[in-house]
Structure 1
Amino acid sequence: MHARRLLIGLVPLMLVATAACGDDGAGTSTSDSGKKLDKVTLTLNWYPYGEHAPFYYGKQKKIFEKHGIDLTIRAGQGSQKTVQATAAGQSDFGWADTPAVLAGVDQGIKVKSLGVFLQTTPASVQFFSAQGVRTPADLKGKTIAGTAGDALSKTFPSFLKKNGLSESDVKVQNTDPAGKIAAVISGKTDALLGYASDQGPTMQAKAKKDVGYLRFSEHGLNFYSNGLIAGQKSLTGSRAAVAKRMVKAVSESWTAAEKAPGPAVASMDGASEQLPPKAVLSEQFKTTLSLLHTEATEGKAPGVNTEADWQQTIDVFAEAGMVKNPKDVSEYWDATTALKG
């Protein structure tokens, strides 16, 4: 769903394989202080962008080391591939969008969430502020760039319905994920379906125009977004204890990064050749920090989930047709390994 997916066709197959496969991270190392650490791999949902700052900050501040973890962070190639690689044991843990987790489990993929951190969806309609769009009703007659089959396009009809609109009130133009920003900048479409924590800041920086948003969550439709996932290999035997430590380390890293957003973003320097400019990273992370909680988890540590919020998310995607056979919350979320509220 990210604009940078244009790079998919340009990345050598060897790099793609390295991002998703390779050494599963099992084994140990020794820290500079002589502490024994468990080697752990984490595959992101995409190339590093602002949302991922806490992982790099946690490494820099030795938070993962404190919890006995020697963390290797890998770029991803989309949440679906991250879910598959994590389930297959090609990565110890993954960072992936909850809709991809739900769809994967629906298809029999053995993966579970250890906690969703972006609990307010960044899904939104994005446009240049000069368009004068203030409410969903202002979308009537507009052409919007969307990608057929993705979570944004699948849930957009529900967003319209909740705001008294029908699908015929707007035109969704099927657009490759990498082309959505260009479509709006060129005027081919009036807006795009994207993530407020990703495409918006990038589009604003490229066009040097203010970007406005109609966030799904602010107009009657919320569901879980990105979080930490693991396959059976990481949840059984001796690795189960590592998983619990990983959950704590990730939550602590997010807490630390939230308190120091500037240094957290700075810790990403050199993380990837595709890293967005620092100003874009900062705006992405600022927006990300507004997505960490629902009303039920406000004031709790990052990554603490509730069964009710999980059920709401499952219901949304069942209605959208992305989950054909909805299961019990416990089939998607490992509450025994996850943080307790």
Structure 2
Amino acid sequence: MKFGVNRIISFVVFIVLLLPVMACDGQDVSDIEDSKEKGVININLALDWYPNSNHSGFYMAKENGHYTESDLSVDIFTPANPEDVLKTVGAGKDDFGVSYQAEVLLARAQGIPVKSIAAMVQHPLNSIMVLKDSGISRPSDLAGKKVGVTGIPFEEALFSAMLEYDGTKPENVTIVNVGFDLGPALLGGKVDAIVGAYWTHESIAMESQGYEISVLRMEDWGVPDFYELVLVASEETLQSKPGLVKTFLTATQKGFSEAANDPLKAVDVLVGFNPEIDRDLEIKGIDLLAPLWSEDDVVFGTQNSDRWKQLSDWMKEKGLLEDHVDHQEAFTSEFIE
């Protein structure tokens, strides 16, 4: 769900470049009224991974002055360990963070007090990927084949659901834990398919190397249609600083709207802040992503109880989530207009 082709190598390189910047993270947000008297409210926004087109709306909001005109100074950064985003947000070290719908539910099962305040991507990005010339066009074609996975239980449960939906038992497939070397495992012939890579990123990266890739999207094969990425805040922030949350989200919505309306400019802004990323890849990626930010005319950030319930119930049925977790407590829509 979180990692894919060469992401570990790319992330290590990116972190080395970011070390001087990261030294300044970790500030707590001060009280809104006191901060306004001082002029500017400092905000930390922790990303789920290194900056890419998924995050372009944040950078557009920053570039176009939507944060500063709201008296916000937003530090957008990648944590040393992105898996800790929900912990640092829940503890108040970071004010907002980018995470995943399933991870929010799992965090709440562990008592981490975080909530989703906006859905960033309306559909799953995780997928099954195969070489186009493999002849594999549906999950059942993977019977008797080798499939590379990262070892993340949630992803394996997603894959099993796709197989069962298409009439194939998971035991008919050989699972190979390739860690986060998904792309090399597929391109090198170690496996016949991979699960855990984004069809808006890794497929493009592999095709740029001269390989044709076919993608099987999860929601087409029996998996609940979940929100891939969500924006999160702590319960404490939501209760004590609702004005700050609303102000930040309003500015962020403007940034994503502008990014969707002018994707090429959005990528150029993204690269301007992060010159180490692959511009050509992100241009192709944002063309796939932008329609998912506000599909079917819903505004950016929209999320509803039915989608949260469907995923929560499915995770409980698969033994991934404890029964006591209340999906209604995992998100709020009060700050989205």
Q: TM-score, normalised by structure 2?
A: 0.87
| Matching residue of 1:104 | 107
Give the superposition deviation at 1:93.
Answer: 0.2
- Aligned match for 1:115, one of 114, 118, 136: 118
Q: CA deviation at 1:164?
A: 1.4
Q: 5+ unaligned residues in a row in structure 2: which ranges?
A: 33-37
Counterpart position of 1:139: 142
Residue 18, structure 1, aligned to residue 22, structure 2: yes
- The answer to whether the 8 Å contact 1:120/1:291 transfers is yes
Alpha-carbon separation, structure 2, partners of 1:7 and 1:81:
19
Q: What's the offset of the Cα at 1:251?
A: 1.9
Indicate if the aligned counterparts of 2:130 and 2:214 stay in contact, CA closer than 8 A: yes
Supply the distance in 2 between the matched residues of 1:36 and 1:163 (Cα, whole angstroms): 58
Distance 1:257 1:268 in 2: 10
Structure 2 match to 1:244: 246
Q: Does 1:50 align with 2:53?
A: yes
- For residue 114 of structure 1, give the secondary structure of its aligned residue in structure 2: strand
Matched residue type, 1:283: K
- Partner of 2:305 in structure 1? 307
Q: Is the 8 A contact 2:118 2:231 kept in 1?
A: yes
Give the alignment's TM-score, normalised by structure 1: 0.87
Per-residue CA distance 1:171-229 (angstroms, 9 max, x = gap): 2211111x111111111111211221232212222x22121100001223222210110
Q: Secondary structure at the match of 2:239?
A: coil
For the residues of structure 2 that align with 1:255 and 1:329, how far apart are their CA atoms? 28
CA shift at 1:67, angstroms? 3.4
The RMSD of aligned alpha carbons is 2.6
Looking at structure 2, the residues matched to 271 and 175 of structure 1 have their Cα atoms a distance apart, in angstroms, of 33
Q: Does the CA-based 8 Å contact 2:90-2:114 persist in structure 1?
A: yes
Identity %: 23
Shift of 1:119: 2.0
Q: For the residues of structure 2 that align with 1:20 and 1:135, how far apart are their CA atoms? A: 48
Distance 1:118 1:309 in 2: 13
Cα 1:180/1:230, change in 2 over 3 Å: same
C-alpha change, 1:110 and 1:278, in structure 2 (3 Å) is same
Pair 130,20 (structure 1): closer, same or farther in 2 beyond 3 Å: farther
Structure 1 position 137, deviation (Å): 2.4
More displaced, 94-103 or 162-171?
162-171
1:330 aligned residue (316, 328, 332): 328
Q: Choose 210-219 or 148-157, whichever is displaced more.
A: 148-157
What CA distance in whole angstroms lies between the structure 1 residues aligned with 2:193 and 2:153? 17
Alpha-carbon separation, structure 2, partners of 1:198 and 1:16:
27
* Aligned positions of 1:2-81 closer than 5 A: 2-3=3-4, 4-6=7-9, 15=19, 18=22, 22-26=26-30, 36-76=39-79, 80-81=83-84
